[in-house]
Amino acid sequence: MGMMRLLSAFLFAIGLFAATARAQEVRTVDGNKYIVHTVAAGQTLYGISQHYAVELTDLSKANPGAAEGLSVGQVLLVPMAGRSKKDIKSAPELSHGELLHTVAKKETLYGIAKRYGVTQEALNTANTELSFGLRPGMQLRIPVSVSSAAPPAAIEPATSDSAKFHQVLTGETLYSLGKLFGVAPEEVKAANNGLPDGLKAGLYIRVPQAIVVRDTVAKLEKVATPPAGLSRKVAVLLPFTATARDTSEGAPGGDQSQVTYAALEFRAGMALALDSLQAAGMNVEVRVYDSGTRPSQWEALYQSDELRGMDLYIGPFHRAALESLVRVAGDAPIVCPVPQSNKVLLGNPTVSKAVGSRTDQVKQLARYAVQHREGAQILMLRAAIPAERDLQALMLRELKAALPPVAPLSDSIRVLDCGRRAVTGLLAAMDPVKTNFVVVPSEDVEFVSAAITALAGTIGKYKVSVFGMDSWKNIPTLDIAALIKLDTYLPASTAIDIDDLRVAAFIGAYRERYHNEPGEYAFLGYDVTLFYLSALMQFGKAFPAHLNEVQARPLHMTFDFTSLGAENGRSNTGSVVLRYGKEGIRPVRWSAF
């Protein structure tokens, strides 16, 4: 088909992308970098520590469950900061569970034996070729099982058992993990050496005799049954082939490998949604195409007749590619499935945007603060940052708009002007009796850090609740403990509630099929597919006029559409409010007025 390729190869790749993505993967947890290592049969904790030139104690601390012994398939995080630069070059290889040491010039058998805590006799027994002498360049098998350099559990070879290994997600607790895997929280703690440093997001833990949630999401979904015999055609366009850097506005990330990974995750989540819809009797032909990341790629795709005549188009991700698709899609609806500016809707009435904008988030947060303001004063910090004047004006406007038409004088919004590096006059503005709702409409890292530091000084002296921005979740320098004590609320377009049974079922089904953890784009692929194909089943190609009537329950987002005018498309204004608590960042439940 020339440049237009139906992605059968990518459908196969979906089943394999988890394994390939992990090859020499480096992951950041709490600001520290780790190499991700998957344990193979016969490997030992001591052998792995030697291979990566890291202290056994550092490796054990980063992996609490490893102290109980290793299992085949277990994932370990190897702390990069703990690796010895001196020993990395001479570190032994791992081969079928064994350590292979390459003899360097001037090394002696005595020195090698001492390094690994074994006797010279043990080395001679494991390496019969030593009878001809020790030579530089030869590889020696190290009998790790008799090493005295590590405790017994660290030299026990990995075995296959019934335990599962899970990467802790943000907000997960021992209670939620027990609920998800069907084990007692105390058992999870005991299987991981008591979790001396607590349950930290990003770390891998052992789940004993885990029982993965077997209920597929399809069993939990209730979607409308389509008319009998009616068949639909849907085209999904995703940027799998990332061959060049794209500068289109709103492209998800600057690293093109991340764009490809996002597309693969989206496709994986979409496959689970199709299971749910097919169980409900959906009759639809879904075709997946590679839209690439360059105009030459998607324009060649659009020239094909095969792409025409669809009932629905989902994607592509890039704004320029989507605007080009409008010219060939006719009257068929087009879905922009990823965050984009509302500019993509202007002059394009067939386009709808699935993910809300920052403006929608600000409006939702302002409404929440005002609705829950009883007995509180609302104080907004306005920093002297020219680039944020529009954001500040938007927040102030939405706060005032959310107030009742006839509001008492005490309901007025107080604005505190301050510098970028210091929040002067804060204590003088705080009410010593009422709760202070402090609104901080800023994404500037320097100012946000200064504001939180200043507000942290009021803890215990004043009653405070802080309202910030979604981007705060990505500021590593913020003190999480302070955010919790300050009763912090953030707006977001999406939120994953791990206590929701449907979310637990989705995570379990995703793990079973792909042997990986679902990321943001996996959830997005599920929700977008479930919602829009349900809309197509219920209302046909005319569904854009009925978007707020669609019967579908997304996993991690809210759909509430607003039309931008007869000549423009429709935007999903749905968003949520998140709250920092002792158990992580969780969505709050409330009824908007």
DSSP 392-424: HHHHHHHHHHHS-SS--GGGPEEEEEE-SS--T
Whether 246 and 293 have beta carbons less than 8 Å apart is answered as yes
Of 469, 492, 515, which residue is a domain's last? 492
Show the beta-strand stretches assigned E in 471-569. 488-492, 561-563
Structure tokens at 450: 């200064």
Crossing angle for the helix pair 389-402 and 358-371, nearest 10 degrees? 40
386 lies in the same domain as 338: no
Q: Which residue numbers in the chain have pLDDT < 50?
A: 1-23, 210-216, 243-256, 591-593
Whether residue 445 is contained in a domain is answered as yes
472 lies in the same domain as 384: yes
409 lies in the same domain as 505: no
484 lies in the same domain as 389: yes
250 lies in the same domain as 278: yes
According to the model, what pLDDT value does residue 162 have?
Answer: 58
- In the chain, the number of structural domains is 4
Whether residue 547 is contained in a domain is answered as yes
The single-letter code of the amino acid at 576 is V
Of 191, 211, 231, which residue is a domain's last? 211
Whether residue 567 is contained in a domain is answered as no
340 lies in the same domain as 397: no
Whether residue 101 is contained in a domain is answered as yes
Residue 478 CB contacts under 8 Å (≥ 6 apart), including other chains: 448, 449, 452, 472
152 lies in the same domain as 167: no
Beta strands at 561-563 and 570-572: parallel, antiparallel or unpaired: antiparallel
201 lies in the same domain as 253: no
Whether 184 and 178 have beta carbons less than 8 Å apart is answered as yes
Length of the chain counted residue by residue: 593
Q: How far is CA 433 from the centre of its chain?
A: 40
According to the model, what pLDDT value does residue 213 have?
Answer: 41
Beta strands at 570-572 and 93-95: parallel, antiparallel or unpaired: unpaired
> Which residue from 483, 448, 450, 488 is spatially nearest to 467, judged by alpha carbons?
488
Beta strands at 435-439 and 463-467: parallel, antiparallel or unpaired: parallel
> How far is 559 from 575, CA to CA, in rounded Å?
8
Structure tokens at 143: 């009998």
> How far is 487 from 363, CA to CA, in rounded Å?
19
Whether residue 457 is contained in a domain is answered as yes
550 lies in the same domain as 522: yes
CB-based burial label for 330 (10 Å; 0-12, 13-18, 19+): exposed
> How far is 176 from 184, CA to CA, in rounded Å?
10
Beta strands at 351-353 and 570-572: parallel, antiparallel or unpaired: parallel
Whether 210 and 182 have beta carbons less than 8 Å apart is answered as yes
> How far is 336 from 544, CA to CA, in rounded Å?
13
> How far is 350 from 312, CA to CA, in rounded Å?
10
> Which residue from 357, 360, 326 is spatially nearest to 340, judged by alpha carbons?
357
Whether residue 575 is contained in a domain is answered as no
Domain that holds residue 192: 162-211
Taking the chain, what is the end-to-end CA distance rounded to the nearest angstrom? 53
* Prediction pTM value: 0.63
> How far is 254 from 246, CA to CA, in rounded Å?
8
Whether residue 590 is contained in a domain is answered as no
According to the model, what pLDDT value does residue 410 have?
Answer: 55
Element (H, E) at 95: strand 93-95
332 lies in the same domain as 431: no
Question: Which residue stretches of 131-173 are H helix?
Answer: none
According to the model, what pLDDT value does residue 156 have?
Answer: 85
> How far is 212 from 508, CA to CA, in rounded Å?
6
> How far is 442 from 440, CA to CA, in rounded Å?
6
> How far is 563 from 545, CA to CA, in rounded Å?
9
> How far is 88 from 423, CA to CA, in rounded Å?
47
323 lies in the same domain as 447: no
> How far is 168 from 165, CA to CA, in rounded Å?
10
Whether residue 318 is contained in a domain is answered as yes
Residue 106 CB contacts under 8 Å (≥ 6 apart), including other chains: none
Residue 435 backbone dihedrals phi, psi, to 5 degrees: -75, 140
> How far is 500 from 542, CA to CA, in rounded Å?
32
Residue 473 sits in a domain whose CATH number is 3.40.50.2300
Beta-carbon count within 10 A of 385 CB: 16
According to the model, what pLDDT value does residue 153 have?
Answer: 82
Residue 175 sits in a domain whose CATH number is 3.10.350.10
According to the model, what pLDDT value does residue 225 have?
Answer: 56
pLDDT single digits (tens) 7-44: 444 443 444 344 333 346 787 777 788 898 888 888 89
250 lies in the same domain as 130: no
> Which residue from 206, 212, 187, 213 is spatially nearest to 71, judged by alpha carbons?
206
According to the model, what pLDDT value does residue 407 have?
Answer: 56
